Structure 1
Amino acid sequence: MHFPSDGDLEIGEEGRTQEGLRFDQQLLDRFMAEGLRARGTALGFPVNLDFDHRSLAGFLGLHANNVGSPQDESQYHLNTKPLERAVVAFFADLAGAVPGTTFGYVSNGGTESNIFGVYLGRERYPDAVLYASTQAHYSVPKIARLLRMDYAQVGVLPDAAMNPDSLRARCREHPGRAAVVVATIGTTGQGAVDDLIGVRVALHQAGVDRYHLHADAAFGGPLAALGPRPRAWGFADGADSIAISGHKMIGSPVPSGIALARADLVADVREPGVAVGADDDTISGSRDALAPALLWRELRRLGRRGLADRVMHCVRTAEYAAERLRACGRNPSYVPDSNTVLFDAPCQELCDRWALLHDGGRAHLNTMPHVERKHIDALCRDLEANW
């Protein structure tokens, strides 16, 4: 679809005429129509498009702000903090937290949640080195730069999970220093899950007794908790802080995330009463109040059982996709019980048509909740027709 150039979209000195406003609305309608059309062929990005929150359109006429801690009411009373606390409690329970031991808030996405977790670790241990695998999210080295931390990349096993032997060796390169380790629960590229227990053993063997373990479960947290074979990923498995995405498995028209941490660690970063009467123990201060309402509504609709059914749908669809792609001669590979399938990339036209991420000659298929077998069949027909 062709849109006007950036120059034609500039905001001028004078306001728009009625005719201009009608044109602008038509332009926005075209943006929305294109988005709705593309939803039926979006198979490559780890985001869920199976939602409809139009009944909450009234929130667009409000400025709601969850400024400061979700635990404190601020002097700005137009907020959704009660809904936010319910969302945090749900995910804390999913992550195996003992009731009353966890702090959390709804962030603007996985990167902010990762910043929060690593920041807590850096405040605990100012001399810490930040460790993460070569398959960790791209935000992690950026966080190291933001927080002025030394950063050490760790090698991976054949399945793309962190190699504990490599972690042990990298730690020994920094004797006497603490460690902040980002363990990835569901890598973006292949859906691999780092072994939290193996990470802790490697740290002990390297002589590191001061460490903070952050689980980047933005993509894979619900899969690790509710998949066919639950994986170690949460507080019961040694995590000190956790990042979970709101717009991936749950689904939302705006990006969101959930930042979780042991409550006793958050006191180190809390600033009492600074956020219009509320404590601030978040990264962003003023925070989106719409995202908690969207997440709360969808989680109330699904419940834990419904979310588990959604996870199983994703896993089974990935298994089906691997079978169909193998029959197409596309050499698929995927980590069992994940929802990411890699296969030989088709031409650029097909990658664009199906919104497939691709690099190194391999395309990424993510079977998110909106992806069904009919989408896999249609993709395979295109692959066979354009071999």
Structure 2
Amino acid sequence: MFTTEELRIPSQENADRGADAELLRRFADSAEERLRHHAGFPVNLDFDYGPLAPFLSLHLNNAGSPGQTSEYRLDTKPFERAVVGFFTELAGGRPDEVFGHLSHGGTEANLYAVYVARERYPDAVLFASREAHYSVPKIARLLRVPLVEVAVDDDGAMDLGELGREIGDRGAPAIVVATVGTTSRGAYDDIPGIRRAASAAGVDDVFVHADAAFGGPLAAFGDPPRPWAFPDGADSVSVSGHKMIGSPLPSSVVLVRAADADRVRTPGVAVGSDDDTIGGSRDALSPLLLWYALRGLGGDGLARRAHRCLEVTGHAVRRLAEAGRHPTRAPGGNVVLFDAPDEQVMRTWNLLDVDGRAHLSVMPHLTADVIDRMCADLT
């Protein structure tokens, strides 16, 4: 797309930025073209944050705790608290019992949740399905927590029988990452079932993190809704901002019980604010983006968006079956796996390869018409 020489940063000041502006315009045009065929990745590309452009001229920084002002006054913490409040309600949490903030993405959100869990149970063993997010093994290494990867059932959800056996064999406190919408197959781990499996194994010291980065809104608004959050047995919940909502920046809302956040808080060290997050000096643009999107959507709009995704997923399954591609879909999910087409079609439609099968993620920017165009290319 661009040569190394075109992108080289010069040693002298560049007085004429016209060529740079043209290069960026070319890149934007090419990205817009690729966007029309972006079907394999679990991100929503249907958004417009043009009214927020003036904030690109400001240095905004949410330093320290989201619930406190700091000595750096150019922050967006009131907007962050509003976004956290929306997701706390969606996840069935009580505002006085939940601490939340915006992290830089799903990996940091999972890291924070397992971090506070490890502080509650210092001798715990971490359990996650073999199809959990790729960040989980890395988090286990970072926090030096033993990790047990649990087998999955035919739909891709955690095998609760094996989980119970593994927890019982260790006989130690358990931290369990329950994936609510796996990126590989869109499967939902059974949070109440995880609690029952641990109890049957004789282990009551259990912390369950609901990694709902991908599937949280789909679980909340599905028909029927699926267990995924605090009332269902989760101790912490994370939902990504760049997936179902859509954002030019990766972000994630992470919610934990306030008592667990208290264990990791250091008072007054972050420019006059408590330090109770991993990022410390944190992205302050994402709260504006998500607040702006959610003000337009509201809970009803987010529900309609989730319903449309599930309807289009059903359409995709039917069309792919008609094309002879043998589609499969986890119950309630928006991921469809099907017999992979040739490499050109895979590349054109940005489809992932999962064990030799093409991977389609039906996100809000994908319509039935787009699915029909893709299926026409398949045949």
- State TM-score, norm by structure 2: 0.98
- 1:365 to 2:360 alignment: yes
Distance 2:57 2:165 in 1: 55
Match of 2:98 in 1: 102
Distance 2:268 2:61 in 1: 16
Match of 2:36, SS state, is helix
Distance 1:264 1:302 in 2: 32
Distance 2:7 2:104 in 1: 27
Shift in Å, 1:26: 1.2
Match of 1:3 in 2: 2
Shift in Å, 1:17: 4.2
Q: How well do the aligned residues superpose, as a CA RMSD in angstroms?
A: 1.0
Shift in Å, 1:329: 0.3
Unaligned runs of 5+ in 1: none
Shift in Å, 1:360: 1.9
- Aligned counterpart in structure 2 of residue 288 of structure 1, from 274, 283, 291: 283
Distance 1:335 1:317 in 2: 15
- Aligned counterpart in structure 1 of residue 310 of structure 2, from 312, 315, 322: 315
Shift in Å, 1:372: 0.3
Distance 2:208 2:331 in 1: 25
Which residue identity lines up with residue 164 of structure 1 in the other structure? L
- 1:350 to 2:349 alignment: no
Distance 2:344 2:248 in 1: 27
Which residue identity lines up with residue 186 of structure 2 in the other structure? G
Checking the alignment, whether the CA contact within 8 Å between 2:99 and 2:261 is kept in structure 1 is yes
Distance 1:271 1:58 in 2: 34
Checking the alignment, whether the CA contact within 8 Å between 2:187 and 2:331 is kept in structure 1 is no
Shift in Å, 1:336: 2.7
Deviations 1:192-234 (A, max 9, x none): 0000011001111111111211110000000110111111111
Q: Which is worse superposed, 252-261 or 166-175?
A: 166-175
Deviations 1:328-370 (A, max 9, x none): 0000000232111110111111111001011322011111001
- Aligned counterpart in structure 1 of residue 134 of structure 2, from 134, 138, 144: 138
Which residue identity lines up with residue 287 of structure 2 in the other structure? P
Distance 1:314 1:47 in 2: 12
- 1:269 to 2:264 alignment: yes
- Aligned counterpart in structure 2 of residue 332 of structure 1, from 314, 327, 333: 327
- 1:89 to 2:85 alignment: yes
Unaligned runs of 5+ in 2: none
Match of 1:381 in 2: 376
Match of 1:255 in 2: 250
Shift in Å, 1:140: 0.4
Distance 2:150 2:104 in 1: 28
Question: Superposed, which structure 2 residues align to 1:187-266 within 5 Å?
Answer: 187-266=182-261
Match of 1:62 in 2: 58
Q: Which is worse superposed, 201-210 or 309-318?
A: 201-210
Percentage identity across paired residues of the two chains: 53
- Aligned counterpart in structure 2 of residue 113 of structure 1, from 109, 123, 133: 109
Distance 1:99 1:82 in 2: 15
Match of 2:173 in 1: 178
Match of 1:37 in 2: 33
Shift in Å, 1:172: 2.4
Match of 1:381, SS state, is helix
Match of 2:80, SS state, is helix
Distance 1:185 1:138 in 2: 14
Q: Which is worse superposed, 257-266 or 309-318?
A: 257-266
Shift in Å, 1:10: 2.6
Match of 2:63, SS state, is coil
Which residue identity lines up with residue 30 of structure 2 in the other structure? E
Q: Structure 1 stretches (4+) deviating beyond 3 angstroms? A: none
Shift in Å, 1:9: 2.0
Match of 2:278, SS state, is coil
- State TM-score, norm by structure 1: 0.96
Checking the alignment, whether the CA contact within 8 Å between 2:168 and 2:198 is kept in structure 1 is no
Q: Which is worse superposed, 323-332 or 205-214?
A: 205-214
Distance 2:7 2:28 in 1: 16
Distance 1:32 1:342 in 2: 30
Match of 1:180, SS state, is strand
